[in-house]
A and B are shown apart, each in its own frame.
Chain A
Amino acid sequence: MATPIVKIDNLVKYFDISGGFLEQLQLKSGKIRLHKTEVKAVNGVSFEIAPGETLAVVGESGCGKSTLARTVMGLYPPTAGSVSYRGERIDTLTSKQMLPYRQRMQMIFQDPYASLNPRKTVRQTLKEPLRFHHKKITAVEIDERLAEVMEQVGVNPAWRDRFPHEFSGGQRQRIAIARALVIDPEFIVADEPVSALDVSIQAQILNLLMDAQDQRGLTYLFITHDLSVVRHVATRVAVMYLGTLCELATTKELYDTSYHPYTRALLSAIPRVDGKKSKYIKLPGEIPTPIDLPSGCVFHGRCIHADDRCKCEVPELLPVSDSSGTRVACHGIAEGRI
């Protein structure tokens, strides 16, 4: 593998939700103690993203995939662990030192109704990042860049003076993509970019993202809950459950032979139109709260294969034996039980 464009190592992100001093006071065995309550959103996630690939992170709501994306972008400081961009650590940088990286890393959000400023025209929205990152750019150059990028995302450049409310949802998402592309980034984090769109529009936007990748050699970190979208766009897939990676594999491998019991259940739950329905593997129980993480493997409470080891020892993400490159965090698979 070439030098990774982004590498995260043992990334941890906790959110302190304990509130004020008085709310933290707790009576424990006759003594008053300060007690902190934390949401453990991301717990020791490591992976690398190679240039030109699309790494998809999938998982259900609350599994920490969006937190992971934002921590990678530097929007949240990590609690522990590191984020490196082309070999340089970026999680410790000041916001000023971060500037050159911001130009190379951009983000696309889920809801194009919320991510575009309703009081700015398309021109103003697209101009802002250009002006910010290229102080000396001339008005003519800006116009050229805008026309070029709007053309590429399929929005008529003649509409540059319109406001977001004059566009449909799909067109707004195109504008949000244009805003990310306008400063020529090399790495884009897309957080559920098609989840708010209708099927026919979703296909248009996915095609657009893939075209942009081909033309500009972009690298994507693609966050989604939709496993069929993943199958279509991703090179590799990371499956997350409760802040932890449970499986990391190439897309083909994952859909051909998935290993982790959670991945299997997740894949069996996709509704299919072609009638090739596999029996849905039911998961007992519910996702535990990320405030009190289960001991050992976070999935053990819902796993039919769990034994005593799973309850106390956290499984590592290890390569499976069949040399496919798939890595799985499961004792059962490491021991050959499953």
Chain B
Amino acid sequence: MSLLEVKNLEVSFALRHGDLVALNDVSFTLDKGERLGIVGESGAGKSVTGFAVINLISKPGRISKGEVLFDGQRLDRFSEKEMREIRGNHISMIFQDPMMTLNPVLTIGTQMVETLRAHRKISVKEAEKIAIKKLDLVHIPSPERRLTQYPHEFSGGMRQRIIIAIALLAEPAIIIADEPTTALDVTIQAEIMELLIELCNSQDMGLMLITHDLGVVAEVTERVLVMYAGKIIETAATSDLVTSPMHPYTKGLMNALPGHGTCDKENRLQQIPGSMPNLTEIAPGCSFHPRCAFCQDICTKTVPELRKVAGSKDRLVSCHFPIGGQN
């Protein structure tokens, strides 16, 4: 059994005109020490997936179908009080903007001690010791001195390291990182990516990396889910996905990356026409069909299932005519 198992998850938001389905039939698993990427464009449902796992979907949204199993327990059925035991202790989350996540008027030490003491009954002294250890783990030099400093005294990259240290305080089994490097410069991003990989290996931690950047996914993760309009459309080992994407959307996304895809003779990027549909206006059949170059009659009528690719171990694609595969 996997550490985290998400089965047929559906999240919907109750709007005036009826329910808006933000996540539709999402299933995946995450094991100890595994690095899983969730990639897609804005509005694809990647962040909602992250929030749903730790039961943080706020009203008017709700988990309307499916299960979230952590260590065999149904998290989606947990009460707020039970959930608090899980969050931070067993599953932690890291967000995009480190300045927004840290409290600007409290020192790093205060914030770390506060977090620890919310989870465990320990003295301030002991909590500080653990905090120093964790800051050391994320390579912050002279952590004892840094504890007394405020967030504004740190650079963006350092702040993100502190956030990661806070997420690590209670030694969680899983970290959900929602665009952890998007607000950072490339050189800092490279350092944070290295750190995340290192931590997953040394702490045997599962990582769920949510990002829009295929490059980051390719460098950090082992397996990847591609999302489009609230659904998983392709999942594969990262190396397989980047070398031979099977869903036309994944392929389009790769080709649209400057400097990576194949440029045509006039040196233009291959573009995907149109844009991601608004979730209230999803086309019938395959939700990607209005933008798809390989669209056939059946695509406009029947929703393709997420099917296992013949001859592969755990490769799934949801397309009537996957690239390079028999359907």
Contact = CB atoms under 8 A, between A and B. Distances in A.
Interface string A151-183: 000000000000000001011000000000000
B253 A231 contact: no
A286 interface: yes
A269 B216 CA distance: 11
B187 A228 contact: no
16 contacts: A61-B185, A199-B214, A199-B256, A200-B252, A203-B271, A204-B271, A206-B269, A232-B259, A232-B267, A266-B186, A271-B190, A271-B216, A272-B219, A273-B215, A273-B242, A273-B254
Interface residues of A, number: 40
B33 interface: no
B194 to A, nearest CB: 7
Given A170-B275, A225-B186, A286-B157, A207 B216 contact: no
A280 interface: yes
Contact of B257 (A199, A269, A287): A199
A229 interface: yes
Given A168-B275, A200-B252, A266-B187, 12 more contacts: A60-B186, A60-B187, A201-B41, A201-B275, A202-B258, A225-B186, A228-B215, A228-B259, A232-B267, A232-B269, A271-B189, A274-B260
Interface in B243-261: 243, 252-260
Contacts of A304: none
B191 interface: yes
Interface of B: 41-42, 155-158, 185-191, 193-194, 212-219, 239, 242-243, 252-260, 263, 267-273, 275-276
Contacts of A282: 191
Nearest to B40: A198
A203 B272 contact: yes
A304 to B, nearest CB: 14
Contacts of B187: 60, 265-266, 269, 283
B294 to A, nearest CB: 16
A200 B272 contact: yes
A203 B252 CA distance: 10
Nearest to A229: B258
Contacts of B275: 168, 170-171, 198, 200-201
Contacts of A61: 156, 185
A199 B253 contact: yes
Contacts of A200: 41, 252-253, 256, 271-272, 275-276
Nearest to A277: B219
Contacts of A271: 186, 189-190, 193, 213, 215-216, 218-219
A198 B258 contact: no
